[in-house]
Amino acid sequence: MQSGISVSDELHEAFRNFVSDESIFCLPVTIKSESLSPLSPVPFASPNAFYPSLSQLSSVLEPKTPLYLLIRRPENGSSSLVALTYIPSNAGVRAKTLFAATRATLARELGTEKFASTIFATDEDEVIGEEAWKERDAEKKGTAGGFRREDLMGEKERELEAVRRAEEEARSGTPSRDIGIGGTFNRANPFGGASVKMKVDDEVKQALEGLQQGGLVQLSIDVPTEAIKVAAAESGVEANSVQSHIPSSSPRYTLYHYPDSDVVIFIYTCPSGSSIKERMLYASSRMHAITMAGDQGLKISKKIEASSPDEITGERLHEEVHPPQDNGPSRGFARPRRPGR
């Protein structure tokens, strides 16, 4: 997948300077005006001091803003470059998509051969935490006293890693390797297939069968019983008010039949403050919910993922149903609109 965004002349120049100036620890890169552009470089805290310099990156990281970080890592008298993509889990889905789609372009246009490794991070601790870098080193070597990265994680870290993999699997439909976190998660085995089949109440099927234009059916998962239930079923819902029907504290599947159209939109919202088990269950059952809707005669035309109801605006829903006209190849990939305020 490509975004149509390319490296700006300013970034090419900044990168040449970064490569030649070994006092520079990190070159942050963002997407601006349809191109990859450099931000102010971050110097080493002291000459060649990698770990002491990591904390300086907190000054360029923002909780909901994706960013690329080109990092110099001194090793054995020389240095190597690392291309790190930071996409916070609670960033807007459009921003996630844009930065993920442009990740390969950044490395390719600057020269893939110049980077010793590429890293994907979704949490600030994965960027500035010394332990995270040591875990990657152990994983890269394939052995650190015989341990894999998962073996070095605490229980909480292993659960969060499992959630990230389940969410990625839900987006791509590609099964991932079970990292064996135990408990009900391992029993559900979200990594053994593209989805987990859950129990479904009869009223769910009835609500989906009765979904008409302007109607909304919202599904929830009862965590103790791991069953899909109807959370809400409404008619005559205007596009501008859909977000008011979605809770901001827990995940939901919302199916909305856009007025005066044949388009049914599947909306998956998963707030960052949701519990680990909720995130796991919803991520791994997403494909099953879509398939179940199809079995009830609904043709899902559009799918939206968001971390906050604020992102589900009437304008966004309208654009999903009536995409803006493309003015030609120079238009590129539409930059994400900042949700809410």
* Whole-number pLDDT of residue 163: 59
* Calpha distance 176→190 (Å, rounded): 8
Residue 38 counted as domain residue: yes
Question: Which residues on neighbouring strands pair with residue 80, listed in sequence order?
Answer: 73
Residue 1 counted as domain residue: no
Mean residue pLDDT of the chain comes to 80
| Lowest-pLDDT choice from 104-108, 155-159, 162-166, 248-252 | 155-159
* Calpha distance 202→163 (Å, rounded): 29
Which residue, 264, 96, 247, 222, is CA-closest to 167? 96
| Lowest-pLDDT choice from 55-59, 292-296, 334-338 | 334-338
Residues 51 and 147 in one domain: yes
Measured on CA atoms in the order 290, 296, 302, 304, is the torsion positive or negative? negative
Query: pLDDT for 247-292, tens place per residue?
Result: 988 999 999 999 999 999 999 998 877 777 788 788 888 888 998 9
- In this prediction the pTM is 0.48
Answer yes or no: is pLDDT of 56 > 90.
Answer: yes
Residues 17 and 126 in one domain: yes
Mean pLDDT confidence for 75-86 = 87
Answer yes or no: is pLDDT of 333 > 50.
Answer: no
Residues 146 and 247 in one domain: no
The tokens describing 137, both together, are: 């080193």
Among the candidates 128, 152, 176, a domain finishes at 152
Please list, in sequence order, all residues whose beta carbon lies within 8 angstroms of the beta carbon of residue 82, skipping any fewer than 6 positions away: 70, 71, 72, 73, 115, 116, 117, 118, 119
pLDDT band at 168 (very low <50, low <70, confident <90, very high): low
* Calpha distance 200→115 (Å, rounded): 48
Among the candidates 91, 124, 152, a domain finishes at 152
Element (H, E) at 128: helix 124-128
The one-letter amino acid code at 243 reads: Q
Alpha-carbon dihedral 42, 47, 49, 55, rounded to 10 degrees = -30
Answer yes or no: is pLDDT of 296 > 70.
Answer: yes
Let me know: does 282 contact 251? Beta carbons within 8 Å: yes
Q: How many independent structural domains does the chain possess?
A: 2
Residues 54 and 135 in one domain: yes
Write out the residue range of the structural domain in which residue 112 sits: 6-152
Among the candidates 119, 152, 185, a domain finishes at 152
Residues 117 and 20 in one domain: yes
Residue 91 counted as domain residue: yes
Compare 112 and 231 and report the one with higher pLDDT.
231
Mean pLDDT confidence for 176-204 = 47
The tokens describing 248, both together, are: 């901001």
Distances 212 to 78, 248, 298, 322 between C-alpha atoms, Å: 65, 25, 10, 19
- The CATH number of the domain holding residue 310 is 3.40.20.10
